[in-house]
Amino acid sequence: MRGCPRHLPAPAVGGAAGAGRTPDRTGIQGLARCPVPGAQAFIRAALCLAMAAPAPVLADSGIHGRIAWRGELVPDVVVYAYDSAAGDFLRDPVAVSEPSATDGTYRLALAPGQYTLVARSGPKGEGRPGVGDYYCYYSGSPVVVGRDSWTPVGFNLVKVPAQQRDKGSGSVIEGVVTYRDEPLERLYLYIYDKAGEAFRGPGTATIPVGGGGRFRVSVRPGKYYLIARKRQQGGMYGPMEIGDHFNYYPGNPVEVAQDERIGITLETVTRISQLEEGLTPGPALKGSVVDAHGRPVPGVRVFLHRPGELKGRPLYFSGPTGEDGRFELAVPVAGDYMVTARERFGGPAAEDEYSGRFGDEALHLEPEAGKAVRIVVGRGEKN
């Protein structure tokens, strides 16, 4: 970025900000029209003093990581940040990175907040990507950027496929789900009619995809977002773990007219730890989950909630505890959190499910502080 430290976000121009996107500030307009005698000299002197004063220091925060396609690190891909989970993510980013380096690394300065992230290649960053362009909607969006911290985000790209459209009997979306050009079976296709909930939950429809990775679904004319998810542990809900298959269709939103058939190929990727190795911050919370007799309980996740919102969606959650009952949980934003633990996602805890809570008061956590706790769980406990 010319004239700016690399870690500071550049001012927005036409809705976009980021490295290399700064406005022209070579002139001061409007002084010639000032009607007060002597005002021009006074204003110029005041401006010179203001410009000579030390600039305020902006927070050093943002995202960084690596970008890859089928295991190969990819240069010249740009990351776009959007400050809303709603929209089609085709225009009006709030920040734009420099193209990724030859080793696939990138860095994008962002103010603290939540962002939806997209990485893509091609000659322009707005509008639909072209066939053959690299593309990735980051499935962990919205990503939280904390004050004075850099959040690791790795992008696993696909190449944008061609889309087929022709007249049919009724409005239909059909196609095949693949992984590295081979059909992928036994997964779920989630269809959403809006993006406002960051594609959480079942959506408008959830379609099991069986033999040959093929699917066909009749829809009303309209606009739809398609996402494929295959969890190694099975099931329709829950986080995507290392090794799970998933993807956001790069042709989203799919617009279907009356009596139109849309044919697509939805290529999935896997979440791979190598894109985030060496980048993940230390845990803010760690410890063990045990039963009433002090024995470690495996397969339990630890959840962080806003105070007073235990029944809502958790803000952060850990991976499942191991055989030793231990867990670690990174938290990018300092604050007060209620800490709970349970085996499953969604709804009240079942009678045969381990669950519990760490105390009745919120716990203050700082990024990378490594605060240790011991959480006692039992079957059928009510949080």
For position 85, which CATH number holds? 2.60.40.10
In the listed set 245, 275, 305, which residue is the last one of a domain according to the structure?
A: 275
Tell me what pLDDT residue 121 has: 94
Which amino acid, residue 349? A
pLDDT at residue 282, rounded to an integer: 59
Indicate the range of 60-74, 196-210, 223-237 predicted with least confidence: 196-210
**Domain presence at residue 280:** no
Nearest CA-CA partner of 248 in 263, 267, 272: 267
Residue 34 sits in the same domain as residue 137:
yes
* CA–centroid distance for 380 within its chain: 33
Query: Is residue 182 domain-shared with residue 93, that is, in the same domain?
Result: no
Tell me what pLDDT residue 18 has.
37
Residue 5 and residue 140 in one domain: yes
Q: What is the pLDDT of residue 272?
A: 62
201 located within any domain: yes
Q: Is pLDDT above 60 for 367?
A: yes
Residue 339 within a domain? yes
Q: Domain boundary at 136, 160, 184, which? A: 160
Predicted local distance difference test score (pLDDT) of residue 345: 77
Tokens 């679904």 sit at which residue? 217
Residue 47 makes CB contacts below 8 A (sequence gap 6+) with 28
User: Is residue 73 located within the same domain as residue 14?
Assistant: yes
| pLDDT at residue 114, as a whole number | 84
Mean pLDDT of 318-333: 84
Domain assignment of residue 34, given as a range: 1-160
2 is a domain residue: yes
Determine contact, residues 182/188, Cβ cutoff 8 Å: no
Is residue 107 within 8 Å of 5, Cβ to Cβ? no
Query: Residue 256 falls within a domain, yes or no?
Result: yes
Specify whether 144 is located in the same domain as 44: yes
Contact 134, 120 (CB under 8 A): yes
Residue with tokens 């007073």: 308
Q: Is residue 195 in some structural domain?
A: yes
Give domain status of residue 54, yes or no.
Answer: yes
- 13 DSSP β-pair partners: 16
Tell whether 270 and 341 lie within a shared domain. Answer: no
Strands (E), 219-297: 222-230, 245-248, 254-256, 260-270, 285-290
Q: Residue range 258-285: average pLDDT? A: 76
Give residue-wise pLDDT tens across range 14-50.
Answer: 333 334 333 333 333 333 444 445 555 544 544 444 4
How much is the average pLDDT of 307-336?
82
Cis previous bond, 202, omega within 30: no
Statement to judge: residues 204 and 102 lie in one domain: no
pLDDT digits (tens, 9 = 90+) for 83-118: 887 778 888 899 999 999 999 999 999 998 889 999
User: Could you give the CA distance from residue 333 to residue 284 in angstroms, rounded to a whole number?
Assistant: 9
**Residue 352 domain-assigned (yes or no):** yes
Does residue 153 sit in the same domain as residue 172? no
Q: What sign results for the dihedral spanned by CA atoms 33, 34, 35, 38?
A: negative
Q: What is the rounded CA–CA span in Å between residue 355 and residue 197?
A: 26
Structural domain ending residue among the three candidates 160, 186, 213:
160
Q: Are residues 244 and 291 in the same domain?
A: no
CA distance 198 to 141: 7
Q: State pLDDT tens for residues 42-82.
A: 445 444 444 444 444 355 899 999 999 998 999 999 999 99
pLDDT band at 270 (very low <50, low <70, confident <90, very high): confident
Same-domain status, 86 and 40: yes
- Shared domain check, 71 and 121: yes
Q: How confident is the model at residue 277, as a pLDDT? A: 52
Structurally, the chain folds into a number of domains equal to 3
Instruction: Looking at the structure, tell me whether residues 87 and 137 fall in a common domain.
Output: yes
CATH number for the domain harbouring residue 191: 2.60.40.1120
- Residue located via tokens 């939950």: 201
